[in-house]
Each structure stands twice: as structure tokens, then as C-alpha cells.
Structure 1
Amino acid sequence: MKTLLLLVGLIIIISCVLMLARSWVAERARQIPPADNPKEILRRRYAAGEIDEEEYLRRMSGLSQDW
């Protein structure tokens, strides 16, 4: 009987840990912007100093237009 209770308790604990891990991974995935998003790439290049403000605004404006 004790072994059965221990096994059930262990299964419950493992299930809870797996659910928490799954929700943590899903939350992290929502927070990380996609690397192939052109606007995000442009933001990173501007932040890194690869392009100046004029170039950033010009390119961002081009990305915002509906073609």
C-alpha cells in the first residue's frame, strides 16, 4: 500500500514538473522575437551601430509600406 501511494505521489510530482517546464518553454518562445523578422533585424542593426538613424528610418518606412 505504501509503495502504491509513493508511486502515485511520484507520478503527480513528475506530472507537475513537466507541466511547469512546458509552460515555461512556451512563455520563453513567446518572448523571443523571430530571428528572420526583417523589422527585428533592422532594429538590431541600428542598435549595434551598423546603420545610422537616417538609414534605419528609410528602411523601416519601406518595410511598413503595403506593396
Structure 2
Amino acid sequence: MKHKAPRNRTVTLKKREISAYQKRLLSLSSPVDKTQVLNKTICQDILEAASFLPAGFVDLAFIDPPY
């Protein structure tokens, strides 16, 4: 296994953890209400997903730009 640099903050998940987080993933293809996305992780381009979210639903969004 390759050694990480001391200041590396990469998160490494175990198979069990990956499975648990995958169950929370969601991709939107039609409008939803807040109960359908509560405690879920939307894994999708924000420009596609935003139009399907309820108005005024998001107070703060963590968005990861493409690399």
C-alpha cells in the first residue's frame, strides 16, 4: 500500500462504509418534495438537479466543481 503524505486529508472508506453511503445517493429526474431528499446525497450536476428541488429548500449547499 502506498504511504500518504503526513498532511494528506483524503478520506478512505471500507467496503461496508461505501455500501452504507451508496444507499444515500440520489439522482433527480423530476421534481421532488423535501421529504424525498432529506438526509440524502444528491450525486448529480447541480445545474441539472437544482430545477427539481423545491423552491427555497436549500440554505447551504456544498458543491464540488469538476476537475
Shared fold (TM-score, shorter chain, > 0.5)? no
TM-score of the pair, normalised by structure 2: 0.24
Which protein has the bigger helix share?
1
Which protein has the bigger strand share?
2
Larger Rg: 1
Q: Which has the higher contact order (CA 8 A, sep 6+)?
A: 2
TM-score of the pair, normalised by structure 1: 0.24
